[in-house]
Amino acid sequence: MPNFIDRRLNPKDKSLGNRQRFLRRARDELKRAINERVRSGKIDAVGEDQVIPIPRKGIGEPTFQRAPHSGRREEVLPGNKTFGTGDRIPRPAAGGGKGSDPSSSGDGEDDFNFVLSREEVLDLFFEDLELPDLVKLNLKEVVTFRPRRAGFTMSGNPTSISVGRTMFNSFGRRIALRRPRQAEIDAVAAELAKLEGERRPSAAILQRIAALREELATLARRRKLIPYIDPIDIRFNRFEPQPVPNANAVMFCLMDVSGSMGEREKDLAKRFFVLLHLFLKRRYAKTDIVFIRHTHEASEVDEDTFFYSTQSGGTVVSTALDEMLRVIRERYPAKEWNIYAAQASDGDNIPNDSEKCVSMLDSTLMRLCQYYAYVEIIDERESEMFRHADNGTSLWNAYREVSAEWPNFEMTRIAKPSDIYPVFHELFAKAPAPAKRG
């Protein structure tokens, strides 16, 4: 009988450490591949598991190897059919599938496919990005408290009584003070009853009966004096309020859906929103998204309506800001939520409304928001014209005032899908020397 061992339930992922080391090793290649993928426009897929091909060269394990076709060598092969001694076989062209090629066992794969999990992709993808405005984040971090068990206490709420600990104390006290047990009393009472039952008790028995009666009385008294559970036994579970970092974020997506925003503009905006959402999701335990679309009036809608249904009308941007303010007041108190907003627009607005927007942002919204990003989607032809920040649409010009005043307000322009990631990167890039604040 050999020693059989069932190892199937042993912890899995014995090679996890090796995988992490490998990831670190191939990090640059992986990063390049992922960024490439995002640039080529498959943003929706960023949040999924990815198969990333890595060129072998960065991760080779060199040794001294014999060059395959150098010098003279002899090999024995099976399955001769027609050859005779001295036959000459023309050498096949380079890379021909001749079985005698020793490198043929390597499958000839140039690339090495690597499946990355969603977390690994996001980690690489957002590696050098940082949440802006850490000051506010730190201030907000400690706002909610959650009770945490912290030992026992003598006083408390009856509902939080700790039965186990209470009985434990009572038991110890009863032993220490020698509280008579029921069994002892019963034994004495039984003996007494038996003796009393004697028809003609002798003097010794009578004496014994008297002693037993007295003992029984003492026991009963002790039992009464020493209660089963005394108030000093009672313990309550103690809870301490523990600060919990605020882990909720809400993201407002504001978009102009008036006639001037075509499919292309909406698509670009969507890509930007998706990136922002993924980014926030990595940071916060809970991330809500609120979609607000506007023409000359604004409304909160669901995602599909937001991106895919059309509505015609003029353009009044301030209505969207109004709506956002309303939603914040109603559902997302700034004390408890980290509020992010991203606004996408083509920059059109009716005259005089831009000023109204600026004053709204200045007076209330920017105080509530952790971060506000304004993305203007422009025509590719316009991108030349608007290369400098100082010319732009009416909204752009108005927002520049806000941007100057509020460090957590960012604005940028996007003309084509390949701009999005660099722009995003620029918006959230880590400060070169991260100043520790708070």
Partner 1 sequence: MEKRSKQLPLLFTSSDWNFDDLSRAYDAIREIAVNELRLDFYPNQIEVISSEQMLDAYSSIGMPLMYQHWSFGKHFVHESNLYRKGRMGLAYELVINSNPCITYLMEENTMALQTLVIAHASFGHNHFFKNNYLFQQWTDAGAILPYMEFAKSFIARCEERYSPAAVEAVLDAAHALMPQAVFRYRRRPRLSVERERARIRERLEHEERTFSDLWRTLPQAAEAEAPREVQTDMSERQSAIEYPEENLLYFLEKNSPVLKPWQREILRIVRVIAQYFYPQRQTKVMNEGCATFVHYTIMNSLYDKGQISEGTMLEVLQNHSNVVFQPHFDDPRYGGLNPYTLGFNMMRDIQRICTEPTAEDRDWFPDFAGNGDWCGTLLDAWATHRDESFIRQFLSPALIRDMRLFSLQEESSDPYYEVMAIHDERGYERVRSSLANSYDVGMTQPDIQAVDADLKGDRKLRIKHTVHNGATLVEETRNETIRYIQRLWGHEVSLVGVDAQTDKVLYEVSSKELGEKA
Binding residue for partner 1, selected from 29, 30, 46, 114, defined by CB under 8 A: 114
* Site membership for partner 1, residue 48 (CB under 8 A): no
Task: Indicate whether 110 belongs to the interface with partner 1 (CB under 8 A).
Answer: no
Q: Which of 95, 96, 105, 438 binds partner 1 (CB under 8 A)?
A: 105
Judged by CB under 8 A, the chain residues 3 through 32 that form the site for partner 1 are: 3-8, 10, 12, 14-15, 17-25
* Closer Cβ to partner 1, 91 or 436, answer by number: 91
CA distance 289 to 133: 20
Sole residue written with tokens 């003492």: 218
Cβ atoms < 10 Å from Cβ of 141: 16
In the bound state with partner 1, the residue whose beta carbon lies nearer, of 19 and 221, is 19
Under the binding rule (CB under 8 A), the answer on residue 152 touching partner 1 is no
Q: CB–CB of 340/305 below 8 Å? A: no
By CB under 8 A, the residues from 371 to 410 that bind partner 1 are none
The rounded distance, in Å, linking the Cα atoms of 389 and 412 is 9
Query: Exposed, middle or buried: residue 316 (CB in 10 Å: 0-12, 13-18, 19+)?
Result: buried
Contact region with partner 1 (CB under 8 A), list: 68-76, 172-180, 308-316, 353-361: 68-76
Establish if 239 lies at the interface with partner 1 (CB under 8 A).
no
Crossing angle of helices 394-405 and 353-360, rounded to 10°: 20
Which residue's CB is nearer to partner 1, number 102 or number 262? 102
Residue 63 binding partner 1, by CB under 8 A: yes
Instruction: Report in angstroms how near the CB of residue 363 gets to partner 1 at its nearest.
Output: 52
Identify residue 213 by its one-letter amino acid code: R
DSSP letter for 181, please. P
User: What's the one-letter identity of residue 144?
Assistant: T
d(CA 351, CA 339): 29
Q: Do the Cβ atoms of 278 and 367 come closer than 8 Å?
A: no
Q: CA–CA separation, 56 vs 26, rounded Å?
A: 10
Task: Give the Cα-Cα-Cα angle 66, 71, 72 (nearest 5 degrees).
Answer: 110
Residue 231: CB minimum distance to partner 1, A: 53
Query: Which residues is 111 bridged to in the sheet?
Result: 55
Residue 95 engages partner 1 in binding (rule: CB under 8 A): no
Total of chain residues touching partner 1, rule CB under 8 A: 63
Residue 277 CB, nearest approach to partner 1 (Å)? 30
80 binds partner 1 (CB under 8 A): yes
Tell me which of 30, 108, 112, 334 binds partner 1, using CB under 8 A.
112
Query: Strand 236-245 vs strand 142-153: parallel, antiparallel, or unpaired?
Result: antiparallel
**Pick 104 or 309: Cβ nearer partner 1:** 104
Residue 340, SS3? strand
Under rule CB under 8 A, residue 94 binds partner 1:
no
Q: Is 260 in the site for partner 1 (CB under 8 A)?
A: no
Which positions touch partner 1 (CB under 8 A)?
1-8, 10, 12, 14-15, 17-25, 59-81, 83-91, 97, 99-100, 102, 104-105, 112-115
